Structure 1
Amino acid sequence: MITGLGTAVRGVPGPQDLLRPLPADHRQAVDPVSRLTGRGLRYKDRATKLAMVAARDALRAAGLTDGTGALTVPGESVGVTASTNYGNVDTVCETVSTIAESGYLATSPMMLPATSSNVVASWVAITHGLRGANLTLCNGPTSGLDAVNWARLLIASGRVERMLVLGVEPDNPAVRHVTGVPEAAPDELGDAPDLFDGSVALVVESAASAEARGVRPLAAIGPYARRGGHADAVAEVRALHPGRVGLWCVPEHPEGVRAPAPGLGAGVGSVPVHDLTALHGASSGALGVLQCAAAAVWLEGRGGADDDVVLVSAGTGDAGGDDASAALILTVPDAVAPRLAGTAR
């Protein structure tokens, strides 16, 4: 079950706004990183700071932290999975350049630990005392949905009771250098950014855990599949859960998906389609988590009939030239309990 959401996206006040077009002045909106205060921020990269903001909101929304930010459950009962393909590439590039130009003695002992790819998940866990399983995925376009599935597997195996799932990608010169995306002038971008710059967080826990804490789940996580072809991944999850698709969150470059995909009834034309990259920019490893958060908002608001499900898919697989495709079903939770008083949505 998804029981908490958090966002750190410029121009997006909260999770409830993920499916809405960004305001025209979103580039002038307050940077969510500015919400962080205190010591220890100087040597953290932008991806880590964005994830810290989203994580704090998600933990509070799920009732796992109190008004002071302290955990209300044992730290060992909460783990972290983070999905980011470019998270700390700025730190890595800076360090490599420094070594190439001046030798390793010129590197900073404060910066070197931040070159590890698991820095986002590690710092979030350290900040909030989350001592459960800690995992980072840098797995291409399916990475975000893979992170959600790994969270479920870790809970189902008894390793933890709850998981904080993070999807984060920064927009900075190093990312643009690695991806080959040039800096564009604002008038060339229109209303949407070309690269996502932000973080989304989910709290995932078992139905039993949510019920014991008196928390009403926002959405239930259904079947997941990762296959070489997009149509194969979609067909597999639809075979396991054939309910009516009320919303389909499509991969980046949806034109690479050969529609209609098997299991979608009459095809794409009969299913409301949401391309979150068209709203928020190319999201890479953050996309799957972004999709799941938007799906939870849609389901909680009953965007369709009570028995509708949301299909999310990331990576176009063979059809679009990606190495794989992943698909996941989210549904309305069976049990509805009163939501914790005073928690954010």
Structure 2
Amino acid sequence: MKIINLVNRAGIFTLILLFVFQSCSSSNDTSDKPEVINPDKVSVQVDILGKTAEMPNGDGSGKIRLTIKAADAKSYKVVVNNETKEFTTSDFTYEFTQPGTKEYTIDVTAFNGIKYTYASTKVNIFVARKLIWSDEFDVNGAPNPDKWDYNTGTGDGWGNNELEYYTKRPENIIIENGILKIKAIREDYMGSQFTSARILTRGKFSFKYGRAEIRAKLPVGGGTWPAFWLLGDNLDTVGWPACGEIDILESVGNNPNVIHSSLHSPGRSGNTPDTATTTNPTSATAYHIYAAEWSAESIKFYVDDNLFYTYKNSSTTPFNAKFFIILNFAMGGNFGGAVDPNFKTSTYEIDYVRVYN
């Protein structure tokens, strides 16, 4: 009985060894390995419209075409310039609108119904300025009613203790030989000591982001206060300063040839800290261009394309909505100061107002 048991045990041990060797042999057979599936590759081709050897960043249209290649992809997502686009075709066109030459990142995700694959590329693109609104003041007479409306009434109504009464009269506002002339006159009128004019594009034109500029010659005399500025379209619903105010040009005759640019917003109204000045020695004897370039990131102020102030914009300011344009010529008030007792009349002359994308 003992010999038989030993034989049986030996046989069992042999069988176990054979099973182990077979198992090891099977695990080393590469033909039985599970298939590892690599992600499909995504390729993105960017064609810049109008690209030439002389214009490597395009012709200024800001347009590009993307051609995306990804095996068996059923849908695509493109993130460019903080915008997300989703579509089902492998060709995608996009138009940049911010003027200048800038590098943009383009992120592409392809989806084949089971998995996502991703690629990223960069492009340098040139965008030329495009004129979206202007008044060249090339028709004699009153300002174009399709473009401008009037504010009328006493200066007390504008919250600055101004001394003028704004009218629609040709004595105070008229276009002559391609120039808009806003005239402040010392006269007793409707209980005020001075008359002048204030026009605005509210309800007729407003815009969000871009470049606004004026070519103008400024009036002279202590107490004069000409301006070119923007107010938020939501003025009636949220009030001032919640609507935001962008003063592109202000100047006062008591401090001649000093150009002020300022911004007003909640907690930064009245004597705002968001302001800067520059000197323009011929502001009253020659025409100059006063401009602001406004984006989600910044608002930059220029005189004759010379940058003198940059305001850092953000999503927390009011300066990310539509604004309308105001032109006016005030007398006295909190900013204009005392009026020269010898002042009789002076004229704010505007060659044009233009807004670009």
Normalising by the smaller structure, the TM-score range is under 0.3
Question: Which structure shows the bigger proportion of residues in strand conformation?
Answer: 2
The TM-score, its normalising length taken from structure 1, stands at 0.25
Q: Which has the higher contact order (CA 8 A, sep 6+)?
A: 1
Kindly name which structure, 1 or 2, has the bigger radius of gyration based on alpha carbons. Answer: 2
